[in-house]
């Protein structure tokens, strides 16, 4: 749980992730505002890798985002950031929708009603169903998506396209690599993880979605503007 989430819950008995995190549209917890607000939330720092994930996002936003903002200007940078973030959410929700329809095709009416009646209460208590199908539906309906990773991956893609031969210094291992190869490698890793580990807590499809929408937008700008982008 984040500090803001903890403060809001103790002071106002409000779970920010419930209201501002993006829920699947078939969930009773879904609100249209979540389509935008989830980009400005983050997963709990208490979970494994939570702090590292947040640190990477903020570092990438600072390192690559400030360069892109200098090239594009604030308005175009903000537009790019929002479009890639929303595109990432769209791809992520599409993947969830596929899983949702698979579950709904095999779940029994009794199991479905049990999830609808008790799923949210259980997950609020960090409990899950032992039945695989019921647990999957519980996860789909009541686990919010939060974070700006999709937009950040869009920024990485843009930097690699605009400055392909700029050398970046990796930390592990400490070797230089050109931006275009860094972006290609990162994209390949995310694609592999999206296929091999679709059920983990990281939205790999959203990362790929941010890169995809970023590429489409860059191509559009290249064709419709006389400047660099």
SS (H, E, C) 127-196: CCCCCHHHHHHHHHHHCCECCCHHHHHHHHHHHHHHCCCCEEECCCCCCEEEHHHHHHHHHHHHHHHHHH
pLDDT value at position 1?
Answer: 46
pLDDT value at position 61?
Answer: 87
pLDDT value at position 46?
Answer: 47
Question: For residues 56 and 92, what is the distance between their CA atoms, to the nearest angstrom?
Answer: 20
Q: How many residues does the chain have?
A: 229
Q: Assess contact for 187 and 133: CB atoms under 8 A.
A: no
| More confident site: 94 or 2 | 94
Q: Which range, 56-65, 98-107, 116-125, 206-215, has the best average confidence (pLDDT)?
A: 98-107
| More confident site: 46 or 155 | 155
CA distances from 174 to 34, 43, 163, 168 (A): 39, 28, 20, 10
Q: Find the mean pLDDT for residues 38-58.
A: 68
Please tell me the pTM assigned to this model: 0.84
Q: How confident is the model at residue 16 (pLDDT cuts 50, 70, 90)?
A: confident
52-83 pLDDT, tens per residue?
A: 767 777 888 888 899 999 999 999 999 999 99
pLDDT value at position 102?
Answer: 96
Question: For residues 23 and 31, what is the distance between their CA atoms, to the nearest angstrom?
Answer: 8
Q: What is the mean pLDDT of the chain?
A: 84
């Amino acid at each position: 749980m984040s500090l803001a989430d903890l403060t809001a819950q103790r002071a106002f008995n409000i779970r920010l992730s419930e209201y501002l995190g993006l829920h699947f549209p078939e969930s009773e917890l879904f609100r249209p505002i979540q389509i935008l607000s989830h980009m400005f939330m983050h997963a709990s720092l208490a979970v494994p890798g939570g702090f590292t994930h947040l640190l990477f996002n903020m570092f990438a936003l600072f390192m690559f985002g400030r360069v892109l903002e200098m090239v594009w200007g604030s308005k175009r940078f903000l537009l790019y950031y929002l479009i890639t973030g929303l595109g990432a959410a769209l791809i992520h929700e599409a993947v969830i929708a596929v899983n949702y329809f698979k579950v709904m095709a095999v779940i029994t009416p009794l199991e479905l009603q049990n999830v609808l009646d008790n799923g949210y209460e259980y997950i609020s208590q960090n409990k899950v169903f032992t039945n695989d199908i019921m647990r999957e539906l519980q996860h789909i309906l009541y686990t919010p998506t939060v974070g700006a990773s999709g937009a950040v991956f869009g920024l990485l893609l843009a930097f690699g396209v605009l400055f392909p031969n700029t050398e970046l210094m990796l930390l592990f291992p400490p070797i230089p690599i050109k931006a275009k190869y860094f972006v290609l490698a990162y994209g390949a890793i995310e694609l592999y993880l999206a296929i091999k580990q679709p059920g983990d807590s990281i939205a790999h499809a959203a990362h790929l979605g941010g890169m995809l929408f970023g590429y489409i937008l860059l191509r559009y700008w290249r064709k419709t503007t006389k400047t660099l982008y």
